[in-house]
Amino acid sequence: MEEKEKNAIRLIREEMSEKDFELYMYSLQKLADKNLDNNMSFMTDLYNIRAFQVKASEEMLQNPDLKFAMIILDFANFSMINEFCGREKGDELLKYTADTLRELTAEHVVLSHLRADIFAVFTPFNDKNELIAITKKIDAKIGEFKIPYRILPAFGICIADSPTMSVSIMRDYATMALDSIKGKFYAKYAFFDEEMRDRMLLNKMIENDIVSALEEEQLVLYIQPKVNMRTGAVEGGEALVRWHHPERGIVPPGNFIPVLEKNGLIIDVDICIWRQVFRFLGNRIKEGKKIVPISINISRQHVFDNSFKDRLINLSKEYNVSPDLVPLELTESGFLENHDMMYERMRFLKDRGFKISMDDFGSGYSNMSMLKNETMDEIKIDKGFVDDIATPKGRSILKHVIEMLQEIGLNVIVEGVEEPEQRDFLLKCGCTKAQGFYYYKPMPTSDFEALLDEWNPVS
């Protein structure tokens, strides 16, 4: 029951006699029961979301001595079941699942078909093992459903921290726990915990603060040098982003970039950094200082942004920076998703002078047919290959990958060089360009400028 409703009932109680108030509450309860009976899923005859929240809240408030938990059930591949087995079979599975949940019916248990293929169980319990046993029982029973396709149910669990905890918040937390194992077919259930709570709060902070961060220039350009391993000279750089939060200090990219990729704001962050790169290079050109190419990252979301090609071309013109000084780095997954559209846009930009680099090559999405495409100018070999040179097999693989890429005319740069032994091996393989902590970590533009002037003094 919401706080406003509690206050309203409190005021009514003050104005009524005890007998009249009891009659009033009885009438409300009867009306509520009637409405709840009318708020059932037409397919499964379980409570819909509104009725479920009312009944679950009621159970928790009336039984403060009991511990309650929320279990959310979702099918990882329900759309595929509908696709391959037919919607009628999918509907049969939903009804069968509802019947399976009804077998759990006991005192204080509330069941719901929330929407689509998502169900909820609100139940009292004594310890976590009971809740795990419930998920295993449901999973085993659903596994008996006759269908020529593997069914993959998953469960998110939230334990109420008090009898007044909001049922809708419990549902959100259980859903968050469920989302943490989606796609992980080896994991059947997950509990919402403090780590998830902290991550949720951090994500919310990021979503709330990113707009002001963009407006107030809290997102700062850092550059990691690209080095010639034979001479040690700085021959390029990669643009990276650091968030200087006014209260939290530096927020690591690993904390905020995944959040922004999900909500689409990564596009705005990319554009912010792109502009800083073009401005940085443009200023050095005006000052007559030596420059090196600085690559920028292209998020896969840009494939859906019709204006991103024109934006890059306009930045090049605005700051009078030749496109070949700003290579475009795109991850392998970016090339694989929306393949044709991404290649079309990369070819358009290549025709206008930009160079195209495939980042993280070999990180898990490799497709050799991509190498036949003439769009790419450079391949950045993933750090994982370098880490594996401690073994004969790892050395052999990396050596032949470098040879193959060079043989088909691609520039090669290796990421993650951290040890002199790695440098020496790469040089023996004929690879001269690298990034990594052995040479330099990402640094502010002022430090990069000093480094650039040291290695590339004005003649």
Q: Mean pLDDT over residues 164-180, rounded?
A: 91
Find all residues with CB under 8 Å of 168, minimum gap 6, and list them: 53
146-155, 332-341, 400-409: segment of lowest average pLDDT: 332-341
Reported as a pLDDT band with limits 50, 70 and 90, residue 198 is confident
Mean pLDDT of the chain: 86
- Res 403 pLDDT > 90: yes
Reported as a pLDDT band with limits 50, 70 and 90, residue 128 is very high
Retrieve residue 220's tokens. Answer: 């700062």
Q: Mean pLDDT over residues 305-313, rounded?
A: 88
State the CB neighbour count (10 A cutoff) for residue 415: 21
Quote the pLDDT of residue 369.
61
- Res 35 pLDDT > 60: no
Domain stop point among 174, 192, 210: 192
Quote the pLDDT of residue 365.
52
Residue bearing the bigger pLDDT, 229 or 373: 229
152-166, 186-200, 281-295: segment of lowest average pLDDT: 186-200
Retrieve residue 216's tokens. Answer: 């107030």
Asked if residue 332 belongs to a domain, the reply is yes
Query: What is the amino acid identity at position 184?
Result: K
Q: Are residues 72 and 116 in the same domain?
A: yes
- Res 83 pLDDT > 60: yes
Distance CA 439, CA 382 (A): 17
CA dist 110 → 13, 113, 140, 444 (Å): 29, 11, 21, 56
Q: Are residues 182 and 264 in the same domain?
A: no
Q: Are residues 77 and 96 in the same domain?
A: yes
Q: Mean pLDDT over residues 71-98, rounded?
A: 90
Distance CA 66, CA 106 (A): 14
CATH code for position 347: 3.20.20.450
pTM above 0.75, yes or no: no
Q: Mean pLDDT over residues 174-199, rounded?
A: 86
- Res 165 pLDDT > 70: yes
- Res 438 pLDDT > 60: yes
Asked if residue 13 belongs to a domain, the reply is no
Domain stop point among 192, 218, 247: 192
Expressed as residue numbers, the domain containing 345 is: 202-455
| Contact between 159 and 127 (Cβ < 8 Å) | no
Q: Are residues 292 and 423 in the same domain?
A: yes
Query: What is the amino acid identity at position 283?
Result: N
- Res 148 pLDDT > 90: no
Quote the pLDDT of residue 248.
86
Reported as a pLDDT band with limits 50, 70 and 90, residue 458 is very low
Quote the pLDDT of residue 315.
97
Asked if residue 366 belongs to a domain, the reply is yes
Report the number of distinct structural domains present in the chain.
Answer: 2
Quote the pLDDT of residue 367.
54
- Res 79 pLDDT > 60: yes
CATH code for position 93: 3.30.70.270
Reported as a pLDDT band with limits 50, 70 and 90, residue 142 is very high
Reported as a pLDDT band with limits 50, 70 and 90, residue 459 is very low
Q: Mean pLDDT over residues 27-42, rounded?
A: 59
The single residue listed with the structure tokens 């929240």 is 53
Would you call 441 helix, strand, or coil by DSSP?
coil
Q: Are residues 315 and 424 in the same domain?
A: yes
Q: What radius of gyration do the chain's Cα atoms show?
A: 29
Q: Are residues 162 and 230 in the same domain?
A: no
Quote the pLDDT of residue 338.
62
- Res 153 pLDDT > 70: yes
Query: What is the amino acid identity at position 439?
Result: Y
Q: Are residues 129 and 211 in the same domain?
A: no
Would you call 156 helix, strand, or coil by DSSP?
strand
Q: Are residues 286 and 206 in the same domain?
A: yes
Q: Mean pLDDT over residues 25-39, rounded?
A: 54
Strands 411-414 and 433-434: parallel
Find all residues with CB under 8 Å of 248, minimum gap 6, and list them: 205
Quote the pLDDT of residue 24.
44
* Burial profile 129-154: b = 16 or more Cβ within 10 angstroms, e = fewer: eebeebbeebbebbeeeeeeeebbbb
Q: Are residues 358 and 407 in the same domain?
A: yes
Q: Are residues 221 and 341 in the same domain?
A: yes
Quote the pLDDT of residue 181.
86
Domain stop point among 159, 192, 225: 192
Residue 208, CA atoms < 13 Å, CB-side half-sphere: 6
- Res 14 pLDDT > 70: no
Distance CA 359, CA 416 (A): 12
Retrieve residue 174's tokens. Answer: 């259980």
6-10, 113-117, 209-213, 285-289: segment of lowest average pLDDT: 6-10
Where does 46-86 have alpha helices with state H? 49-62, 78-85
Quote the pLDDT of residue 332.
62
Would you call 109 helix, strand, or coil by DSSP?
coil
